[in-house]
Structure 1
Amino acid sequence: MTNPNTRLHKDYLWLHLKELPYFRAILRAVEARQYSEFHLEHPILDLGCGDGHFVTIAMDEKVDVGIDPWTGPVRLAKQNDGYEMVVQGSGYTLPFPNDHFAGALSNSVLEHIPDLDATLNEMSRVMKPNAKFVFCVPNQNFLPNLSISGFFDRIGLKILGDLYRNFFNTVCRHIHCDDRPAWEQRLNKAGLEIEETWDYFSPHALHVLEWGHYFGFPSLVLHFLTRKWNAVQRKWNFAITDRIVKPVYDETHAQAGGVYSFYIVRKKTA
């Protein structure tokens, strides 16, 4: 189904597509469009800000603080100018006072963190009571819907299917692909409660993303040589790619059986 509000927003797809490999661009574009549906109060913390490219597109104003553990992305985040301040640090020990942030986000980050309990406890500590925290993560539908492992399963080679699922999950650096009950339990332990959640990114969309990892190999070579993902950032150069990814971008936000989940949570008040 097509989202009826697609035309009302800026072209998040093109803004990502011209700067990123297409498999990453389509997921980030879908996520950026969802962030446009709600408002976060300042000051805002972005946990796992990376190079800061995402917030420069998804947000219409600067985010107060971005934090990331890696030196290279932190340097780029400062250059991309989407934050008032960028800090290098760990989610395990956030260098901020208690009850400081009125809003927080973490875009496709929490699934990579080994000790989620420690991180969520820290996020809860630095958030004001009733502060909103939004994040998105892959869920329990991600691995079962990979196309190549599904092919192996259908022809009776489940061992190869499992090997491929483990391989792709490693490529994506996923540690957690959990369902709502698992998230609800760990969030409640940290003093956070789910206000709203929905699944997005259909199994078909996942197949587009999955195969993009392989068809996007030339972009990886180009990035290694030039630090750019695309040599010619003109729409005519993306005509074929656009025909592949546009139907995914035009999906409705909520997808039954979607392989990613979007969460809006709040810090509990005393």
Structure 2
Amino acid sequence: MINNDKKNTRDFLWLHLKDLPYFRAILRAVEARQYQNFELQHPILDLGCGDGHFVTIAMDEKVDVGIDPWTGPVRLAQKNGGYDLVVQGSGYTLPFPDNYFASAISNSVLEHIPDLDTTLKEMARVLQPGATFIFCVPNHKFLSNLSISNFFDRINLKFLGNLYRRFFNRVCRHIHCDNPTDWERRLNASGFEVVRWWHYFSPYALHILEWGHYFGLPSLILHFLTRKWNVLQARWNFCLAEKIVKPVYDEVHEQPEGVYSFYILKKK
């Protein structure tokens, strides 16, 4: 399940930075490096696979099945080649038989799903007894550590701080930013046992991500025009961005005050 002795020399920061906006790249790079410590049995399901970019970097081999509800990302995932099979479908009604998958992952997806209970019960249905399910999500510390809202709080404009928190949460499309107690209760009711959880991505790292949403607006315009986040992928073109995010990439992974959380589950 976890192998802390596994070695990997890939530069996950650069592999993400050349293809993504820098604020998104740093979060995915931190997560991809952590995946090197996980051992997953086949067949593997990736819930909310998106365009499949993440697994092509984070995984040493193809994932058996990726599923996502959106047509565009599904087509890209098929093209990117990180899966044996990519299916367009909903987590509410997974099109797979009972007890089929030996393990599953879901990377920064569950926080966006309105009806989590239905999705988690479906995941439990398609996983084999004792199967591992690994996911990561923003946690209850996310909103309270946003730098702009905290600035408003310090100058006694808390109503603006709360307004900004709601705004940024909407930008991120977060529905759930929950604490481990709430997650454990929800997961136990859905047929999972929580084996381990930990926080990662420090408040400082969150500030880099937060401000990157604004400084990264040129990348959004470029993507709209060209369908690419970065046209010139020469290393020198990323010197400034790499200098900004490298301290975050080099952080100790487990952060007691981290604003995201990894969970390792076992199906009961």
Fold shared, TM-score > 0.5 on shorter chain: yes
Deviation at 1:8, TM superposition (A): 4.6
Give 2:208's aligned residue.
208
Deviation at 1:27, TM superposition (A): 0.3
Give 1:266's aligned residue.
266
1:2-55 CA distances to partner (integer Å, 9 max, x unpaired)? xxx9x9531000000000000100000000000111110000000000000000
1:67-120 CA distances to partner (integer Å, 9 max, x unpaired)? 000000001000001000000000000000000000100000000000000000
Give 2:229's aligned residue.
229
Give 2:9's aligned residue.
9
Give 2:51's aligned residue.
51
**Do 2:77 and 2:86's aligned partners in 1 also have CA atoms closer than 8 Å?**
yes
Between the aligned partners of 1:87 and 1:227, the Cα distance in structure 2 is 22
Q: Do structure 1's residue 152 and structure 2's residue 152 form an aligned pair?
A: yes
Deviation at 1:267, TM superposition (A): 0.2
1:141-220, aligned counterparts within 5 Å? 141-220=141-220
Deviation at 1:242, TM superposition (A): 0.7
Give 1:113's aligned residue.
113
**Do 2:110 and 2:137's aligned partners in 1 also have CA atoms closer than 8 Å?**
yes
**Do 1:69 and 1:89's aligned partners in 2 also have CA atoms closer than 8 Å?**
yes
Between the aligned partners of 1:80 and 1:230, the Cα distance in structure 2 is 17
Between the aligned partners of 1:240 and 1:21, the Cα distance in structure 2 is 13
Between the aligned partners of 2:114 and 2:38, the Cα distance in structure 1 is 29
Deviation at 1:253, TM superposition (A): 1.0
Q: Do structure 1's residue 62 and structure 2's residue 71 form an aligned pair?
A: no
Give 2:40's aligned residue.
40
Give 2:102's aligned residue.
102
**Do 2:111 and 2:138's aligned partners in 1 also have CA atoms closer than 8 Å?**
yes
1:181-208 CA distances to partner (integer Å, 9 max, x unpaired)? 1000010001101111100000000000
**Do 2:8 and 2:36's aligned partners in 1 also have CA atoms closer than 8 Å?**
no
| SS of corresponding position for 1:253 | coil
Between the aligned partners of 2:71 and 2:225, the Cα distance in structure 1 is 20
Structure 2: stretches of 5+ with no match in the other structure: none
**Residue type of the alignment partner of 1:10:** R
| SS of corresponding position for 1:104 | strand
| SS of corresponding position for 1:45 | strand
Between the aligned partners of 1:83 and 1:185, the Cα distance in structure 2 is 32
**Residue type of the alignment partner of 2:204:** H
**Residue type of the alignment partner of 1:149:** S
Percent pairwise identity = 73
Structure 1: stretches of 5+ with no match in the other structure: none
Moved segments of 4+, more than 6 Å: none
Computed over aligned residues only, the root mean square deviation of the Cα atoms, in angstroms, reads 1.4
Give 1:80's aligned residue.
80
